[in-house]
Amino acid sequence: MQAILALEDGKIFKGRSFGASGERYGEVVFNTGMTGYQEVLTDPSYKGQIVAMTYPLIGNYGVNKEDAESRRPFLEGFAVKECSKIASNWRSKQSLDEYLKENKILGIEGIDTRALTLHLRKAGAMKAVLSTIDLDEKSLIKKAKHSLGLVGIDLVKQVTVDKKYLWPGIQQGAYKVAVLDCGVKYNILRELARYKCQVIVLPAEASAEEILGLKPDGLLLPNGPGDPAAVKYVIQTTHKLIGKLPIFGICLGHQMLGLALGGKTYKLKFGHHGANHPVKDLKTGKVSITAQNHGFCVDIDSLDQSKIEATHINLNDQTLEGMRHKKLPVFSVQFHPEASCGPHDAEYLFRDFIALMKKHA
């Protein structure tokens, strides 16, 4: 079946459909990871986006239950050069095509993903529509132009859980960590459990009073989709909790923490999506290769630098990658220290969070 990916600026990519059929809208971004397509598919941070993989052959090792990073895929569409017809791996349970069909996710293959990536790097991430039912190019371009996009849209409500739950494995841990589910990846929870933490996951709209009522040793603000400035209820909750318990922010959590501290965020031209981004620790001078997935960034100049200091910087574009409060037990990073799938260079940040909870117990 024919499929078309139409961008708001009039650029058209024609290919073949795989996965589900239909029509979806979203911002097109590219991911530079060579492996980990299942982790990409199940990362809730991609809600509202159509993801193009730069690596040309996707699906060759199939899909399994263990590598899922959330309860289901949330992205709007998946664009690849070639979807492998063979899924060859001893852990594979089904093919990529079957998995997308099962979860009603549209896929398009046979397009020039290199040309798409170069176009997005030059023009920036933009709104688009992926369709197998409307093949009229002018109609699709018009639909893309009039779609909502990401700016000012709260997508967290579409990925968060309905009620709180205890992450399985650790019933009585050395530390109790409250996690506001803004689209949290499971490997963040796995990492906390690996450090013997009891992990309680709460809906994103949980109040500061509800969180403090659990008597946690720390709060983790995780990744999630969309514009951080649109998630005002989490920002307000975070503002109330600053200084009352140790806080660790990751990705969207880092951005919302920046806003709660009085700063501002802005949209990047085409974002950071992949597993190979170099980040420098400004204290030690050490460079880590990190996994990233974000389209917005905290403006360090908008923060009170008598209280907040930058801790990490992106070596590709010099954007802020980490910050901490100079007096309070609060710190955050823009990249993913749990890195599933990806490099483990930044795993030490979970130990830093444990040490902070121990110090302020």
- The two structure tokens encoding residue 26: 């979203």
Question: Which residue is catalytic, options 182, 197, 251, 297?
Answer: 251
Q: Is 251 a catalytic residue?
A: yes
Q: Is 336 a catalytic residue?
A: yes
Give the catalytic positions in this structure. 251, 336, 338
